[in-house]
Chain A
Protein backbone atom coordinates (compact mmCIF):
# COMPACT_ATOMS: atom_id res chain seq x y z
CA UNK A 1 0.00 0.00 0.00
CA UNK A 2 2.23 2.81 -1.26
CA UNK A 3 1.57 6.50 -1.78
CA UNK A 4 1.59 7.63 -5.42
CA UNK A 5 2.35 11.29 -6.16
CA UNK A 6 1.48 12.82 -9.51
CA UNK A 7 4.40 15.09 -10.46
CA UNK A 8 3.32 17.73 -12.90
CA UNK A 9 5.79 19.13 -15.44
CA UNK A 10 5.78 21.88 -18.01
CA UNK A 11 8.43 21.99 -20.73
CA UNK A 12 10.55 19.56 -18.76
CA UNK A 13 10.46 21.66 -15.59
CA UNK A 14 8.86 20.46 -12.38
CA UNK A 15 6.52 23.00 -10.88
CA UNK A 16 6.72 24.29 -7.33
CA UNK A 17 3.23 23.01 -6.61
CA UNK A 18 4.46 19.53 -7.53
CA UNK A 19 7.45 19.82 -5.21
CA UNK A 20 4.96 20.64 -2.47
CA UNK A 21 2.93 17.57 -3.47
CA UNK A 22 6.06 15.40 -3.29
CA UNK A 23 7.05 16.71 0.15
CA UNK A 24 3.48 16.20 1.32
CA UNK A 25 3.21 12.72 -0.21
CA UNK A 26 6.51 11.69 1.37
CA UNK A 27 5.19 12.84 4.75
CA UNK A 28 1.98 10.85 4.24
CA UNK A 29 4.03 7.76 3.31
CA UNK A 30 6.11 8.17 6.44
CA UNK A 31 2.98 8.49 8.53
CA UNK A 32 1.62 5.26 7.00
CA UNK A 33 4.96 3.48 7.17
CA UNK A 34 5.11 2.90 3.46
CA UNK A 35 6.99 4.07 0.39
CA UNK A 36 6.42 7.25 -1.60
CA UNK A 37 6.34 6.71 -5.35
CA UNK A 38 5.91 9.29 -8.06
CA UNK A 39 4.62 9.40 -11.60
CA UNK A 40 6.04 11.79 -14.21
CA UNK A 41 4.43 12.07 -17.65
CA UNK A 42 6.21 13.32 -20.77
CA UNK A 43 9.72 14.49 -21.50
CA UNK A 44 11.89 15.33 -18.49
CA UNK A 45 15.65 14.67 -18.34
CA UNK A 46 16.42 11.45 -16.42
CA UNK A 47 18.74 13.22 -13.98
CA UNK A 48 16.07 15.75 -13.14
CA UNK A 49 13.59 12.98 -12.44
CA UNK A 50 16.03 11.07 -10.21
CA UNK A 51 16.93 14.29 -8.38
CA UNK A 52 13.35 14.57 -7.12
CA UNK A 53 14.43 11.95 -4.58
CA UNK A 54 15.68 14.80 -2.45
CA UNK A 55 12.09 15.77 -1.70
CA UNK A 56 11.44 12.31 -0.28
CA UNK A 57 10.09 10.24 -3.18
CA UNK A 58 11.80 6.84 -3.45
CA UNK A 59 10.69 5.51 -6.79
CA UNK A 60 9.38 7.29 -9.88
CA UNK A 61 7.41 5.82 -12.77
CA UNK A 62 8.34 7.91 -15.76
CA UNK A 63 6.14 7.46 -18.82
CA UNK A 64 8.05 9.21 -21.55
CA UNK A 65 5.71 9.30 -24.58
CA UNK A 66 6.02 12.71 -26.23
CA UNK A 67 2.28 13.07 -26.66
CA UNK A 68 2.19 13.53 -22.88
CA UNK A 69 4.09 16.80 -23.08
CA UNK A 70 0.67 18.26 -23.38
CA UNK A 71 -1.73 17.76 -20.50
CA UNK A 72 -4.71 15.73 -21.69
CA UNK A 73 -6.92 15.12 -18.68
CA UNK A 74 -8.36 11.89 -19.98
CA UNK A 75 -5.01 10.30 -20.92
CA UNK A 76 -3.33 11.55 -17.76
CA UNK A 77 -6.07 10.24 -15.49
CA UNK A 78 -5.93 6.80 -17.10
CA UNK A 79 -2.14 6.55 -16.74
CA UNK A 80 -2.20 7.76 -13.13
CA UNK A 81 -5.02 5.37 -12.22
CA UNK A 82 -3.38 2.43 -14.03
CA UNK A 83 -0.05 3.11 -12.32
CA UNK A 84 -1.80 3.37 -8.95
CA UNK A 85 -3.53 0.03 -9.51
CA UNK A 86 -0.45 -1.75 -10.87
CA UNK A 87 1.61 -0.66 -7.87
CA UNK A 88 -0.99 -1.11 -5.19
CA UNK A 89 -1.16 2.56 -4.25
CA UNK A 90 -3.47 3.25 -1.31
CA UNK A 91 -3.18 7.03 -1.48
CA UNK A 92 -2.81 9.25 -4.56
CA UNK A 93 -1.56 12.83 -4.16
CA UNK A 94 -2.20 15.48 -6.81
CA UNK A 95 -1.66 19.24 -6.63
CA UNK A 96 -4.89 21.28 -6.63
CA UNK A 97 -3.49 23.51 -9.38
CA UNK A 98 -5.06 24.02 -12.80
CA UNK A 99 -3.79 20.66 -14.04
CA UNK A 100 -4.88 18.90 -10.88
CA UNK A 101 -8.37 20.35 -11.14
CA UNK A 102 -8.70 18.82 -14.61
CA UNK A 103 -7.57 15.33 -13.59
CA UNK A 104 -8.15 14.61 -9.88
CA UNK A 105 -11.89 14.02 -10.32
CA UNK A 106 -11.25 11.71 -13.25
CA UNK A 107 -8.75 9.63 -11.25
CA UNK A 108 -11.26 9.52 -8.40
CA UNK A 109 -13.96 8.14 -10.71
CA UNK A 110 -11.62 5.58 -12.32
CA UNK A 111 -10.40 4.23 -8.99
CA UNK A 112 -13.67 4.74 -7.12
CA UNK A 113 -11.49 6.54 -4.64
CA UNK A 114 -12.80 9.32 -2.41
CA UNK A 115 -11.30 12.72 -3.16
CA UNK A 116 -10.55 15.60 -0.83
CA UNK A 117 -9.99 18.51 -3.17
CA UNK A 118 -7.99 21.44 -1.83
CA UNK A 119 -6.39 19.84 1.23
CA UNK A 120 -4.29 22.08 3.47
CA UNK A 121 -2.86 19.66 6.06
CA UNK A 122 -1.63 16.10 6.51
CA UNK A 123 -4.27 13.43 7.06
CA UNK A 124 -5.22 12.51 10.61
CA UNK A 125 -5.30 8.72 10.74
CA UNK A 126 -6.14 8.28 14.42
CA UNK A 127 -9.79 7.67 13.59
CA UNK A 128 -10.29 6.99 9.90
CA UNK A 129 -8.46 9.03 7.27
CA UNK A 130 -9.43 12.62 7.90
CA UNK A 131 -8.10 15.44 5.75
CA UNK A 132 -8.56 19.15 6.42
CA UNK A 133 -9.58 21.31 3.49
CA UNK A 134 -10.52 24.90 2.95
CA UNK A 135 -14.27 25.52 2.42
CA UNK A 136 -16.54 28.53 1.92
CA UNK A 137 -13.77 30.04 -0.19
CA UNK A 138 -11.39 30.34 2.74
CA UNK A 139 -13.95 31.40 5.37
CA UNK A 140 -13.80 28.00 7.12
CA UNK A 141 -12.25 24.53 7.07
CA UNK A 142 -13.85 21.10 6.87
CA UNK A 143 -12.38 17.84 8.15
CA UNK A 144 -13.33 15.19 5.64
CA UNK A 145 -13.06 11.46 6.20
CA UNK A 146 -12.25 9.37 3.13
CA UNK A 147 -14.02 6.06 3.52
CA UNK A 148 -13.04 4.28 0.29
CA UNK A 149 -10.15 1.81 0.10
CA UNK A 150 -8.06 4.12 -2.08
CA UNK A 151 -7.81 7.76 -1.09
CA UNK A 152 -7.08 10.80 -3.25
CA UNK A 153 -5.88 14.11 -1.92
CA UNK A 154 -5.42 17.19 -4.05
CA UNK A 155 -3.23 19.62 -2.17
CA UNK A 156 -3.87 23.36 -2.25
CA UNK A 157 -0.81 25.21 -3.60
CA UNK A 158 1.18 27.12 -0.96
CA UNK A 159 -0.23 25.01 1.89
CA UNK A 160 2.71 22.75 2.54
CA UNK A 161 6.30 23.84 2.79
CA UNK A 162 8.82 22.19 0.46
CA UNK A 163 11.66 20.52 2.31
CA UNK A 164 14.66 18.73 0.89
CA UNK A 165 17.35 16.35 2.05
CA UNK A 166 19.87 14.03 0.39
CA UNK A 167 18.44 11.40 -1.90
CA UNK A 168 17.98 10.09 -5.40
CA UNK A 169 14.87 8.36 -6.65
CA UNK A 170 14.95 5.07 -8.50
CA UNK A 171 13.50 5.81 -11.96
CA UNK A 172 11.49 3.26 -13.89
CA UNK A 173 11.18 4.45 -17.47
CA UNK A 174 8.34 3.12 -19.56
CA UNK A 175 6.64 3.92 -22.81
CA UNK A 176 2.94 3.23 -22.65
CA UNK A 177 0.54 2.48 -25.45
CA UNK A 178 -1.60 5.56 -25.48
CA UNK A 179 -4.89 6.31 -27.23
CA UNK A 180 -5.31 9.29 -29.53
CA UNK A 181 -6.24 12.39 -27.44
CA UNK A 182 -9.84 13.47 -27.96
CA UNK A 183 -9.02 17.12 -27.30
CA UNK A 184 -7.06 18.99 -29.95
CA UNK A 185 -4.93 21.86 -28.66
CA UNK A 186 -4.82 24.53 -31.33
CA UNK A 187 -3.02 27.32 -29.46
CA UNK A 188 -1.07 27.78 -26.25
CA UNK A 189 -0.43 31.17 -24.75
CA UNK A 190 1.81 31.15 -21.69
CA UNK A 191 2.44 34.31 -19.76
CA UNK A 192 6.18 34.30 -19.32
CA UNK A 193 8.30 36.13 -16.80
CA UNK A 194 5.49 36.61 -14.31
CA UNK A 195 5.29 34.78 -11.00
CA UNK A 196 2.12 32.62 -11.15
CA UNK A 197 -0.34 34.00 -8.63
CA UNK A 198 -1.20 30.77 -6.81
CA UNK A 199 2.46 29.85 -6.38
CA UNK A 200 3.74 33.26 -5.34
CA UNK A 201 5.26 33.69 -1.88
CA UNK A 202 4.41 37.38 -1.93
CA UNK A 203 1.44 39.02 -3.61
CA UNK A 204 0.95 42.77 -4.09
CA UNK A 205 -2.65 43.59 -4.83
CA UNK A 206 -4.45 46.77 -5.86
CA UNK A 207 -8.04 47.94 -5.60
CA UNK A 208 -10.25 50.73 -6.80
CA UNK A 209 -8.33 53.09 -4.52
CA UNK A 210 -5.62 53.27 -7.19
CA UNK A 211 -8.10 55.21 -9.35
CA UNK A 212 -7.10 53.85 -12.77
CA UNK A 213 -4.88 51.43 -14.70
CA UNK A 214 -2.37 54.19 -15.40
CA UNK A 215 -1.43 54.21 -11.71
CA UNK A 216 -0.35 50.58 -11.50
CA UNK A 217 3.30 51.49 -12.02
CA UNK A 218 3.92 52.10 -8.30
CA UNK A 219 2.39 48.73 -7.50
CA UNK A 220 4.42 46.94 -10.15
CA UNK A 221 7.63 48.56 -8.90
CA UNK A 222 6.88 47.27 -5.42
CA UNK A 223 6.05 43.81 -6.78
CA UNK A 224 9.27 43.70 -8.78
CA UNK A 225 11.34 44.70 -5.77
CA UNK A 226 9.76 41.89 -3.74
CA UNK A 227 9.71 39.32 -6.59
CA UNK A 228 6.00 39.27 -5.97
CA UNK A 229 3.03 38.42 -8.15
CA UNK A 230 0.39 41.09 -8.74
CA UNK A 231 -3.31 40.71 -8.02
CA UNK A 232 -6.37 42.93 -7.86
CA UNK A 233 -9.91 43.24 -6.51
CA UNK A 234 -12.90 42.29 -8.58
CA UNK A 235 -14.08 45.76 -9.67
CA UNK A 236 -10.56 46.42 -10.96
CA UNK A 237 -10.72 43.33 -13.20
CA UNK A 238 -14.32 44.08 -14.18
CA UNK A 239 -13.28 47.54 -15.32
CA UNK A 240 -10.46 45.93 -17.34
CA UNK A 241 -7.82 47.90 -15.48
CA UNK A 242 -6.09 44.57 -14.90
CA UNK A 243 -6.40 41.12 -16.54
CA UNK A 244 -9.07 38.76 -15.20
CA UNK A 245 -6.60 36.16 -14.00
CA UNK A 246 -5.40 38.65 -11.37
CA UNK A 247 -8.82 38.89 -9.70
CA UNK A 248 -8.62 37.38 -6.23
CA UNK A 249 -11.49 36.71 -3.87
CA UNK A 250 -14.46 34.50 -3.37
CA UNK A 251 -15.36 34.60 -7.05
CA UNK A 252 -11.78 34.86 -8.27
CA UNK A 253 -8.53 33.13 -7.48
CA UNK A 254 -7.99 31.97 -3.91
CA UNK A 255 -4.46 32.39 -2.69
CA UNK A 256 -2.39 31.65 0.40
CA UNK A 257 0.92 33.48 0.05
CA UNK A 258 3.33 34.21 2.88
CA UNK A 259 2.69 37.90 2.50
CA UNK A 260 -0.28 39.71 0.97
CA UNK A 261 -0.08 43.48 0.56
CA UNK A 262 -3.45 45.13 -0.16
CA UNK A 263 -3.30 48.63 -1.58
CA UNK A 264 -6.45 50.73 -1.91
CA UNK A 265 -8.68 47.72 -1.27
CA UNK A 266 -11.56 48.16 1.16
CA UNK A 267 -11.58 44.54 2.37
CA UNK A 268 -15.10 43.44 1.43
CA UNK A 269 -16.05 40.02 2.76
CA UNK A 270 -15.91 38.53 -0.76
CA UNK A 271 -12.40 39.87 -1.25
CA UNK A 272 -11.13 38.67 2.13
CA UNK A 273 -12.53 35.19 1.49
CA UNK A 274 -9.98 34.64 -1.24
CA UNK A 275 -6.94 35.97 0.60
CA UNK A 276 -7.39 35.37 4.32
CA UNK A 277 -5.30 32.22 4.31
CA UNK A 278 -2.28 34.44 3.63
CA UNK A 279 0.19 34.14 6.49
CA UNK A 280 0.77 37.85 6.88
CA UNK A 281 -1.53 40.57 5.55
CA UNK A 282 -0.61 44.22 5.17
CA UNK A 283 -3.11 46.91 4.27
CA UNK A 284 -2.47 50.38 2.94
CA UNK A 285 -5.64 52.44 2.83
CA UNK A 286 -6.43 56.09 3.43
CA UNK A 287 -9.67 55.30 5.25
CA UNK A 288 -9.03 54.13 8.85
CA UNK A 289 -12.56 52.64 8.85
CA UNK A 290 -11.85 50.31 5.91
CA UNK A 291 -12.84 46.77 6.94
CA UNK A 292 -9.47 45.44 5.79
CA UNK A 293 -7.86 46.84 8.97
CA UNK A 294 -9.89 44.30 10.97
CA UNK A 295 -8.42 41.39 9.01
CA UNK A 296 -4.84 42.56 8.50
CA UNK A 297 -1.73 42.02 10.62
CA UNK A 298 -0.06 45.31 9.75
CA UNK A 299 -1.47 48.48 8.35
CA UNK A 300 -0.75 52.02 7.32
CA UNK A 301 -3.50 54.59 7.19
CA UNK A 302 -2.36 56.79 4.36
CA UNK A 303 -2.43 57.72 0.72
CA UNK A 304 -1.20 54.86 -1.45
CA UNK A 305 0.39 57.26 -3.91
CA UNK A 306 2.71 58.50 -1.18
CA UNK A 307 3.16 55.36 0.89
CA UNK A 308 3.80 52.77 -1.82
CA UNK A 309 6.82 54.43 -3.50
CA UNK A 310 8.35 54.96 -0.04
CA UNK A 311 7.75 51.32 0.79
CA UNK A 312 9.53 50.25 -2.40
CA UNK A 313 12.48 52.50 -1.51
CA UNK A 314 12.74 51.11 2.02
CA UNK A 315 12.61 47.52 0.78
CA UNK A 316 15.35 48.28 -1.75
CA UNK A 317 17.43 49.63 1.12
CA UNK A 318 16.82 46.47 3.13
CA UNK A 319 17.73 44.24 0.19
CA UNK A 320 20.96 46.08 -0.50
CA UNK A 321 21.94 46.19 3.18
Chain B
Protein backbone atom coordinates (compact mmCIF):
# COMPACT_ATOMS: atom_id res chain seq x y z
CA UNK B 1 0.00 0.00 0.00
CA UNK B 2 1.49 3.31 -1.08
CA UNK B 3 -0.06 6.45 0.39
CA UNK B 4 0.66 9.97 -0.77
CA UNK B 5 -0.19 12.67 1.78
CA UNK B 6 -0.53 16.24 0.51
CA UNK B 7 0.99 18.80 2.86
CA UNK B 8 0.47 22.51 2.62
CA UNK B 9 2.22 25.26 4.52
CA UNK B 10 -0.16 27.83 6.04
CA UNK B 11 0.15 30.76 8.43
CA UNK B 12 -0.43 29.90 12.07
CA UNK B 13 -4.07 30.38 13.07
CA UNK B 14 -3.21 33.32 15.35
CA UNK B 15 -1.38 35.20 12.56
CA UNK B 16 -2.34 38.74 11.88
CA UNK B 17 -3.41 38.83 8.26
CA UNK B 18 -1.91 41.78 6.40
CA UNK B 19 -0.82 42.52 2.85
CA UNK B 20 1.96 44.48 1.16
CA UNK B 21 2.96 45.83 -2.27
CA UNK B 22 -0.36 47.57 -2.83
CA UNK B 23 -2.29 44.66 -1.29
CA UNK B 24 -0.99 42.25 -3.93
CA UNK B 25 1.09 40.07 -1.61
CA UNK B 26 0.60 38.43 1.75
CA UNK B 27 2.76 40.08 4.41
CA UNK B 28 4.95 37.24 5.66
CA UNK B 29 6.92 39.27 8.20
CA UNK B 30 6.38 37.91 11.68
CA UNK B 31 4.21 35.04 10.50
CA UNK B 32 4.75 31.58 11.97
CA UNK B 33 4.20 28.79 9.46
CA UNK B 34 2.49 25.57 10.32
CA UNK B 35 1.34 22.45 8.52
CA UNK B 36 -2.21 23.12 7.34
CA UNK B 37 -4.20 21.73 10.32
CA UNK B 38 -6.42 19.45 8.20
CA UNK B 39 -3.35 17.95 6.52
CA UNK B 40 -1.59 17.41 9.82
CA UNK B 41 -4.27 16.45 12.30
CA UNK B 42 -6.34 14.22 10.05
CA UNK B 43 -4.77 13.00 6.82
CA UNK B 44 -1.18 12.61 7.97
CA UNK B 45 -2.11 11.03 11.29
CA UNK B 46 -4.54 8.61 9.62
CA UNK B 47 -1.84 7.56 7.16
CA UNK B 48 0.53 6.93 10.08
CA UNK B 49 -2.13 4.85 11.84
CA UNK B 50 -2.57 2.74 8.72
CA UNK B 51 1.17 2.12 8.62
CA UNK B 52 1.16 1.17 12.29
CA UNK B 53 -1.39 -1.53 11.44
CA UNK B 54 0.42 -2.72 8.36
CA UNK B 55 4.17 -2.16 8.35
CA UNK B 56 4.36 -2.76 4.59
CA UNK B 57 2.60 0.57 4.04
CA UNK B 58 4.73 3.28 2.48
CA UNK B 59 3.90 6.94 3.21
CA UNK B 60 5.24 9.72 1.05
CA UNK B 61 4.48 13.38 1.65
CA UNK B 62 4.16 15.88 -1.15
CA UNK B 63 4.13 19.64 -1.17
CA UNK B 64 4.16 22.12 -4.02
CA UNK B 65 6.21 25.17 -3.07
CA UNK B 66 9.57 26.84 -2.73
CA UNK B 67 12.45 26.01 -0.38
CA UNK B 68 10.67 28.00 2.35
CA UNK B 69 8.34 24.99 2.72
CA UNK B 70 11.17 22.72 3.87
CA UNK B 71 10.89 23.41 7.63
CA UNK B 72 7.16 22.64 7.52
CA UNK B 73 7.65 19.44 5.56
CA UNK B 74 10.39 18.35 8.01
CA UNK B 75 7.91 18.95 10.79
CA UNK B 76 5.48 16.67 9.00
CA UNK B 77 8.20 14.04 8.60
CA UNK B 78 8.77 14.27 12.35
CA UNK B 79 5.22 13.06 12.88
CA UNK B 80 5.69 10.22 10.41
CA UNK B 81 6.05 9.27 6.78
CA UNK B 82 8.99 7.70 5.01
CA UNK B 83 10.04 10.44 2.67
CA UNK B 84 8.90 13.72 1.20
CA UNK B 85 8.74 15.20 -2.25
CA UNK B 86 8.71 18.92 -2.85
CA UNK B 87 7.70 20.12 -6.28
CA UNK B 88 9.73 23.25 -6.68
CA UNK B 89 7.08 25.71 -7.88
CA UNK B 90 5.14 28.55 -6.39
CA UNK B 91 1.54 29.10 -7.43
CA UNK B 92 -1.84 29.95 -6.00
CA UNK B 93 -3.74 28.36 -8.91
CA UNK B 94 -5.44 25.17 -7.81
CA UNK B 95 -5.33 23.58 -11.28
CA UNK B 96 -1.59 24.16 -11.49
CA UNK B 97 -0.91 22.80 -8.00
CA UNK B 98 -3.19 19.81 -8.46
CA UNK B 99 -1.58 19.01 -11.83
CA UNK B 100 1.81 18.83 -10.11
CA UNK B 101 0.45 16.46 -7.49
CA UNK B 102 -1.40 14.34 -10.05
CA UNK B 103 1.80 13.88 -12.09
CA UNK B 104 3.30 12.10 -9.09
CA UNK B 105 0.15 10.63 -7.53
CA UNK B 106 -0.41 8.16 -10.36
CA UNK B 107 2.01 5.75 -8.67
CA UNK B 108 0.09 5.63 -5.40
CA UNK B 109 -2.91 3.61 -4.19
CA UNK B 110 -4.27 6.31 -1.98
CA UNK B 111 -3.95 10.09 -1.94
CA UNK B 112 -4.92 12.02 1.18
CA UNK B 113 -5.56 15.75 1.30
CA UNK B 114 -6.96 17.92 4.06
CA UNK B 115 -10.54 19.18 3.70
CA UNK B 116 -9.18 22.57 2.65
CA UNK B 117 -6.24 24.83 3.43
CA UNK B 118 -6.88 27.51 6.02
CA UNK B 119 -5.34 30.20 3.76
CA UNK B 120 -7.00 29.84 0.35
CA UNK B 121 -9.94 27.69 1.48
CA UNK B 122 -10.48 26.28 -2.01
CA UNK B 123 -11.37 22.71 -1.04
CA UNK B 124 -10.70 21.83 -4.67
CA UNK B 125 -7.22 20.28 -4.98
CA UNK B 126 -8.36 16.72 -4.18
CA UNK B 127 -11.15 16.84 -6.75
CA UNK B 128 -8.83 18.09 -9.49
CA UNK B 129 -6.15 15.52 -8.65
CA UNK B 130 -8.79 12.76 -8.76
CA UNK B 131 -10.14 13.91 -12.10
CA UNK B 132 -6.65 14.06 -13.58
CA UNK B 133 -6.02 10.51 -12.28
CA UNK B 134 -9.48 9.37 -13.43
CA UNK B 135 -9.95 8.10 -9.88
CA UNK B 136 -12.84 8.47 -7.42
CA UNK B 137 -12.70 11.35 -4.93
CA UNK B 138 -14.27 10.98 -1.52
CA UNK B 139 -14.64 14.49 -0.15
CA UNK B 140 -14.95 15.63 3.46
CA UNK B 141 -14.24 12.23 5.05
CA UNK B 142 -15.04 11.88 8.75
CA UNK B 143 -13.91 8.24 9.09
CA UNK B 144 -11.58 6.13 6.99
CA UNK B 145 -11.02 2.36 7.10
CA UNK B 146 -9.15 0.05 4.75
CA UNK B 147 -10.42 -3.39 3.95
CA UNK B 148 -7.76 -4.91 1.72
CA UNK B 149 -7.77 -2.68 -1.34
CA UNK B 150 -11.25 -1.33 -0.63
CA UNK B 151 -11.69 1.89 1.32
CA UNK B 152 -14.73 2.29 3.55
CA UNK B 153 -15.27 5.97 4.18
CA UNK B 154 -17.84 8.04 6.05
CA UNK B 155 -18.20 11.43 4.51
CA UNK B 156 -20.17 14.62 5.04
CA UNK B 157 -22.93 15.32 2.54
CA UNK B 158 -25.62 18.03 2.42
CA UNK B 159 -27.52 17.66 5.68
CA UNK B 160 -25.87 14.49 6.93
CA UNK B 161 -23.39 11.73 6.31
CA UNK B 162 -23.04 8.69 4.10
CA UNK B 163 -20.84 5.62 3.95
CA UNK B 164 -18.95 4.92 0.74
CA UNK B 165 -17.10 1.84 -0.43
CA UNK B 166 -14.57 2.29 -3.16
CA UNK B 167 -11.81 0.23 -4.74
CA UNK B 168 -8.41 1.91 -4.72
CA UNK B 169 -6.83 3.98 -6.15
CA UNK B 170 -8.78 6.88 -4.71
CA UNK B 171 -8.32 10.42 -3.46
CA UNK B 172 -9.78 11.30 -0.05
CA UNK B 173 -10.05 14.68 1.68
CA UNK B 174 -9.94 14.39 5.46
CA UNK B 175 -11.50 16.38 8.26
CA UNK B 176 -12.38 16.03 11.91
CA UNK B 177 -13.20 12.47 12.92
CA UNK B 178 -10.70 10.72 10.65
CA UNK B 179 -7.95 10.81 13.32
CA UNK B 180 -6.83 12.63 16.45
CA UNK B 181 -4.07 15.22 16.51
CA UNK B 182 -0.63 13.93 17.61
CA UNK B 183 2.43 15.71 18.97
CA UNK B 184 5.77 14.76 17.39
CA UNK B 185 8.22 13.13 19.82
CA UNK B 186 11.97 13.62 20.09
CA UNK B 187 12.73 10.39 18.22
CA UNK B 188 10.51 11.48 15.33
CA UNK B 189 12.15 14.90 15.20
CA UNK B 190 15.62 13.31 15.09
CA UNK B 191 14.58 10.77 12.47
CA UNK B 192 13.03 13.47 10.30
CA UNK B 193 16.42 15.11 9.82
CA UNK B 194 17.73 12.17 7.83
CA UNK B 195 14.58 11.21 5.96
CA UNK B 196 14.83 11.91 2.22
CA UNK B 197 13.31 15.17 1.00
CA UNK B 198 13.39 14.98 -2.78
CA UNK B 199 13.08 18.19 -4.74
CA UNK B 200 11.64 17.76 -8.22
CA UNK B 201 11.00 20.33 -10.90
CA UNK B 202 7.39 21.02 -11.92
CA UNK B 203 5.75 19.63 -15.03
CA UNK B 204 4.72 22.26 -17.57
CA UNK B 205 1.12 23.27 -16.96
CA UNK B 206 -0.65 26.53 -17.55
CA UNK B 207 -2.21 28.44 -14.70
CA UNK B 208 -5.89 29.23 -15.10
CA UNK B 209 -6.30 31.87 -12.40
CA UNK B 210 -4.19 34.59 -10.79
CA UNK B 211 -4.68 36.69 -7.69
CA UNK B 212 -5.10 40.38 -8.53
CA UNK B 213 -5.10 41.68 -4.97
CA UNK B 214 -6.37 41.20 -1.44
CA UNK B 215 -8.76 43.13 0.79
CA UNK B 216 -9.36 43.19 4.50
CA UNK B 217 -12.94 43.22 5.78
CA UNK B 218 -14.25 46.69 6.64
CA UNK B 219 -13.71 47.64 10.27
CA UNK B 220 -16.69 47.14 12.56
CA UNK B 221 -18.44 50.23 13.86
CA UNK B 222 -18.07 49.04 17.42
CA UNK B 223 -20.34 47.13 19.72
CA UNK B 224 -23.58 48.53 21.10
CA UNK B 225 -23.96 47.32 24.65
CA UNK B 226 -27.37 46.70 26.16
CA UNK B 227 -27.76 46.29 29.94
CA UNK B 228 -28.43 42.73 31.07
CA UNK B 229 -31.67 43.81 32.76
CA UNK B 230 -33.06 45.27 29.54
CA UNK B 231 -33.11 42.33 27.14
CA UNK B 232 -36.22 43.78 25.48
CA UNK B 233 -34.05 46.62 24.19
CA UNK B 234 -31.74 44.15 22.44
CA UNK B 235 -34.73 42.54 20.76
CA UNK B 236 -35.99 45.95 19.68
CA UNK B 237 -32.59 46.86 18.20
CA UNK B 238 -32.30 43.55 16.38
CA UNK B 239 -35.78 43.97 14.99
CA UNK B 240 -35.93 47.66 14.17
CA UNK B 241 -32.34 48.73 13.64
CA UNK B 242 -30.49 45.65 12.40
CA UNK B 243 -33.61 44.13 10.84
CA UNK B 244 -32.11 40.75 11.68
CA UNK B 245 -35.18 39.21 13.36
Contact = CB atoms under 8 A, between A and B. Distances in A.
B223 interface: yes
Interface in B119-175: 119-128, 130-132, 136-140, 142, 152, 156-167
B244 A258 contact: yes
Q: Is the interface of A mostly helix, strand, loop or mixed?
A: mixed
B18 to A, nearest CB: 9
A189 B160 contact: yes
A236 to B, nearest CB: 13
**Which of A101, A270, A310 has the largest number of chain B CB atoms within 10 A?**
A101
A184 B237 CA distance: 51
A311 B128 contact: no
Contacts of A109: 95, 98, 127-128, 131-132
Interface stretch (B46-54, B60-68, B77-85, B202-210): B202-210
A117 B239 CA distance: 34
A3 B10 CA distance: 34
Contacts of B238: 259, 280, 282, 298
B169 to A, nearest CB: 10
B187 interface: no
A268 to B, nearest CB: 9
Q: Is the interface of B mostly helix, strand, loop or mixed?
A: mixed
Interface string A144-184: 11111000001000000000000000000000000000111
B229 to A, nearest CB: 8
B231 A297 contact: no
B13 A251 contact: yes
Contacts of A146: 208-209
B32 to A, nearest CB: 13
Contact of A280 (B160, B164, B215, B244): B244
A299 interface: yes
Nearest to B38: A251
Interface stretch (A46-54, A58-66, A131-139): A131-139
Given A137-B121, A311-B234, A311-B235, A202 B244 contact: yes
B131 A143 contact: no
A70 to B, nearest CB: 9
A141 B120 CA distance: 9
A252 B211 CA distance: 25
A99 interface: yes
Contacts of B122: 115, 117-118
B124 A244 contact: no
A298 B118 CA distance: 28
Contact of B176 (A141, A244, A269, A311): A244
B140 A188 contact: no
Interface string B88-105: 000001110010000000
A112 B157 CA distance: 26
B25 to A, nearest CB: 11
A311 B217 contact: no
A26 interface: no
A185 B245 contact: no
A245 interface: yes
B102 to A, nearest CB: 9
Interface in B184-224: 206-217, 220-221, 223-224
A79 B79 CA distance: 41
Given A98-B158, A189-B160, A184 B166 contact: yes
A314 B234 CA distance: 9
A114 B157 contact: no
Contact of A105 (B98, B217, B232): B98
Contacts of B95: 108-109, 112, 114-115
**Which of B166, B217, B223, B245 has the largest number of chain A CB atoms within 10 A?**
B245
A252 B1 CA distance: 30
A45 interface: no
B77 to A, nearest CB: 22
Contact of A188 (B37, B124, B162): B162
Contact of B209 (A96, A116, A315): A116
A297 B130 CA distance: 43
A188 B158 CA distance: 11
13 contacts: A10-B158, A74-B131, A101-B124, A101-B140, A102-B139, A105-B94, A105-B126, A141-B214, A186-B152, A187-B162, A196-B159, A244-B142, A314-B231
Given A101-B124, A185-B162, A259-B244, 14 more contacts: A74-B131, A101-B139, A106-B128, A115-B124, A144-B209, A147-B207, A184-B164, A297-B242, A298-B242, A299-B223, A302-B228, A310-B231, A311-B235, A315-B235
Closest 4 CB pairs of A and B: A105-B127, A302-B228, A114-B208, A190-B160
